[in-house]
Amino acid sequence: MTVDMNLLMQTLKLMGQGMLGIFVVIFVIFLIVTALTRLTAGKKPKVEIDDQE
């Protein structure tokens, strides 16, 4: 069985581009979710503890 190195390098390049694309999409989704969470989150009430009695 012979291995065509030129074809192997082309397939590895294509596989690398696909994996990079997946990570880019995951990162973009993360940024969108983070931005929406910060924009739509209501203000949290500040709880004050009074221990000076």
Q: How far apart are CA 3 and CA 34, in angstroms?
A: 46
Residue bearing the bigger pLDDT, 35 or 49 = 35
Q: Please give the DSSP secondary-structure letter assigned to residue 46.
A: P
Q: How far apart are CA 21 and CA 27, in angstroms?
A: 10
The answer on pLDDT for 53 being more than 70 is no
Q: How confident is the model over 9-46, as pLDDT tens digits?
A: 999 999 999 999 999 999 999 999 999 999 998 777 77
Q: Give residue 46's pLDDT.
A: 78
